[in-house]
Amino acid sequence: MVALLFPGQGSQFVGMGRDLADRFPVARATFEEADATLGLALSRLMWEGPEADLTATSNAQPAILAHSVAVLRVLRERNADTFDYAAGHSLGEFSAYVAAGSLAFDDALRTVRRRGELMLAAGQARPGTMAALLGLEDAVVDRVCRDASAADGVVVPANYNAPAQVVISGDVAAVERALELARQAGARKVIPLKVSGAFHSPLMEGAVPGLRDQLEAVVLQAPAFPVVSNVTAEPVRDAESARQLLLRQLTSPVRWTDSMRMLVGAGVDRFLEPGPGTVLAGLLKRVSRDVDTRSLGTAAEIEAWTV
């Protein structure tokens, strides 16, 4: 069985997708569609930068989605389109629903653009931060976050990315306390992250009403194949569950490790990562080394895999 894994925010880079547009007409058409849908030169920003503008949440999210969908369309044009599951890391879950036919590309673009704007505004209204903790078990990170939360701030696990690799998120004071507690607990490394807000935490509550309105304004259909939810690490097979879980995702942790274990346990033995970067392939190898994993973000990678 084959599963698609779609990358999330942070995988963007200046130059992303340009070789796809040069090599594949369907990819170029995808980027042109994204530009027209959003009414901005997204593809030029992807290819030329500046990096600071591309990294902005409201730009990075549609850029990554457009790149992923461009790759997906190339794969389908080359008859590589038999998929059994899909999953996406945070933003990538929207790409997964596009792949499964649940969400139209233009609606997805507008939704993730709005999602990025709302997340930025929530981060400005209640500033927070995030940090990666390496070398601690999930249960230890959970305890660290509980112990570090206090009246002046809360911190929670935001991304369970791989065994012994968890990102935490919350108010600045609470995250700083958590970093010290993590060091005391034996963390191999603590890495503060440069972010515009405390994503996947209660600090994103301000973005919920706006995203709810946006999700209610678009058509969602039952996915043609199951999409694994970040929130539950379980397959989603109906439209209403997809809508509710995409909303809950804003303030809930990304259960990526459990999602990958679920897919491997279901019998998936081939994983494709359509979109920029190779982060998800690397994380999956920390869950299981017995599966075939391919990152397909460049023209060369696609051609090498589909010949």
Cα–Cα nearest to 14, from 60, 58, 57: 60
Taken in order 31, 36, 41, 42, is the CA torsion positive or negative? negative
Residue 259: active-site member: no
Question: Strand, coil or helix: what is 127?
Answer: coil
Alpha-carbon distance of 256 to 30, in angstroms, equals 28
Alpha-carbon distance of 16 to 121, in angstroms, equals 26
Looking at the chain, the number of H-run helices and the number of E-run strands are: 14, 10
One-character DSSP codes across 132-173: EEES--HHHHHHHHHHH-BTTB-EEEEEEEETTEEEEEEEHH
Contact 143, 68 (CB under 8 A): no
Alpha-carbon distance of 197 to 172, in angstroms, equals 10
Q: In what order do the strands lie in the sheet with 270-274?
A: 235-236, 227-228, 85-88, 2-6, 270-274, 292-296
Annotated catalytic residue: which of 11, 90, 169, 229? 90
Residue 196: active-site member: no
Alpha-carbon distance of 125 to 204, in angstroms, equals 9
Would you tell me how many other CB atoms lie within 10 Å of the CB of residue 156?
24
Active-site residues, by number, are 90, 200
